Amino acid sequence: MKKISIEDRAIFLAHYIIETKDTVRSTAKKFGVSKSTVHKDVSDRLLKINPILAKEVREILDENKAERHLRGGMATKLKYLNEKKEHNVSGF
CA distance linking residue 8 with residue 20, whole number of Å? 18
For the entire predicted model, the pTM comes to: 0.71
69 assigned to some structural domain = yes
Q: Give a three-class secondary structure readout of 24-43.
A: HHHHHHHHCCCHHHHHHHHH
Residue at 1 is within a domain: no
Quick check: is 84 in a domain? Answer: yes
The pLDDT value given to residue 69: 67
Which residues does the chain have with pLDDT short of 50? Answer: 1
The total domain count for the chain is 1
Q: Is residue 49 part of a domain?
A: yes
Query: Would you state the pLDDT for residue 66?
Result: 82
Residue 85's pLDDT is 72
Check residue 1 and give its pLDDT: 45
Measured in degrees and rounded to the nearest 5, phi and psi for residue 22 equal -75, 160
Domain range for 41: 6-90
pLDDT at 9 (0 to 100)? 95
